[in-house]
């Protein structure tokens, strides 16, 4: 498969600032972790090709700033997302309580009817993981990619892909004569 024929799946990481979204993404893509904290300014972006159910996909992973001043980026950021991962810190009940707000914002931005239908069709998973300890990171991204690929496949025709339009040759009009 060429890079352009491989499905690209947009997965966004959302949650409060400081919960470890960047660490989570970096652990998955580059297999490393650093204790140095650097707040994300706006959006960070990495890609990784993985195989899901014997099919190659390219994950486009978008790491969002979790601070209020960057919420205006939501509309642009969420557009075209196939899946989101709601991220919180298990040691911070505040970050967990904020997930409702993040989820609502995501659903409003990506078209509530489609997102709600999609979520109900595939269900939602709760996965505890740690970028620092490298626990469950690959499992979470593979699960998200699987869900995103299922969504992409089920909405393939709806988005106009694989539809061919051909022009039917017109038959010659019969010879008509004018009479006055």
Number of domains in the chain: 1
Mean pLDDT of 36-59: 81
Q: What is the pLDDT of residue 82?
A: 87
**Is the pLDDT score of 43 beyond 90?**
no
94 inside domain: yes
Residue 57 banded pLDDT, cuts 50, 70, 90: very high
Determine the structural domain holding residue 25 and report its residue range: 8-154
Angle at 138 between CA 135 and CA 142, to 5 degrees: 140
169 inside domain: no
Q: Contact at 8 Å (CB) between 162 and 156?
A: yes
The residue to which tokens 């892909």 are assigned: 161
177 inside domain: no
Residues 6+ apart with CB under 8 A from 37: 18
161 inside domain: no
1 inside domain: no
Residue 45 banded pLDDT, cuts 50, 70, 90: confident
Q: What is the pLDDT of residue 59?
A: 92
Task: Pick 169 or 149 by higher pLDDT.
Answer: 149
**Tens digit of pLDDT for each residue in 74-120?**
567 777 888 889 999 999 999 999 888 888 888 777 765 765 565 56
163 inside domain: no
Percent of the chain with pLDDT over 90: 19
**Tens digit of pLDDT for each residue in 63-74?**
877 555 445 555
Give me the residues paired with residue 13 across strands.
Answer: 63, 85
120 inside domain: yes
Q: What does the alpha-carbon distance between residue 109 and residue 116 come to, in Å, rounded to a whole number?
A: 12
Q: Which of 22-31, 35-44, 125-134 has the lowest mean pLDDT?
A: 35-44
Mean pLDDT of 31-39: 74
pTM above 0.75, yes or no: no
The residue to which tokens 């709760």 are assigned: 126
15 inside domain: yes
**Is the pLDDT score of 9 beyond 70?**
yes
Domain CATH code at residue 20: 3.40.50.300
**Is the pLDDT score of 165 beyond 50?**
no
**Is the pLDDT score of 157 beyond 70?**
no
């Amino acid at each position: 498969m060429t890079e352009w024929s491989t499905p690209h799946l947009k997965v966004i990481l959302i949650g409060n600032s400081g919960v470890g979204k960047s660490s989570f993404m970096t652990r998955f893509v580059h297999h490393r972790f650093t204790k140095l904290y650097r707040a994300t300014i706006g959006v960070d972006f990495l890609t990784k090709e993985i195989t899901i159910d014997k099919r190659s996909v390219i994950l486009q992973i978008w790491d969002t700033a979790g601070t209020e001043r960057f919420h205006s980026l939501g509309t642009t950021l969420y557009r075209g997302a196939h899946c989101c991962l709601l991220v919180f810190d298990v040691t911070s009940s505040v970050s967990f309580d904020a997930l409702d707000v993040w989820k609502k914002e995501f659903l409003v931005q990506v078209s509530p009817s489609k997102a709600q239908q999609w979520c109900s069709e595939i269900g939602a998973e709760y996965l505890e993981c740690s970028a620092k300890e490298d626990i469950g990171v690959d499992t979470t991204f593979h699960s998200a990619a699987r869900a995103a690929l299922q969504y992409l496949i089920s909405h393939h025709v709806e988005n106009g892909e694989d539809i061919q339009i051909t022009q039917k040759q017109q038959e010659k009009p019969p010879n008509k004569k004018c009479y006055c």
